[in-house]
Amino acid sequence: KNEVEQSPQNLTAQEGEFITINCSYSVGISALHWLQQHPGGGIVSLFMLSSGKKKHGRLIATINIQEKHSSLHITASHPRDSAVYICAVKNSGSARQLTFGSGTQLTVLP
Residues in contact with other proteins by CB under 8 A are 30-31, 33, 35, 37, 41-45, 48, 50, 84, 86, 88, 90, 94-100, 102-103
Pairing of strands 4-7, 98-100: unpaired
Q: How far is CA 78 from the centre of its chain?
A: 17
- Taking the least distance from each CB to other proteins, the nearer of 13 and 31 is 31
The least distance separating other proteins from the CB of residue 19, rounded to whole angstroms, comes to: 19
The least distance separating other proteins from the CB of residue 24, rounded to whole angstroms, comes to: 17
User: Under a CB-based contact definition with an 8 Å cutoff, are residues 9 and 102 in contact?
Assistant: yes
- Taking the least distance from each CB to other proteins, the nearer of 14 and 50 is 50
**Cross-strand partners of 60:** 55, 73
3-state DSSP assignment of residue 108:
strand
The least distance separating other proteins from the CB of residue 102, rounded to whole angstroms, comes to: 6
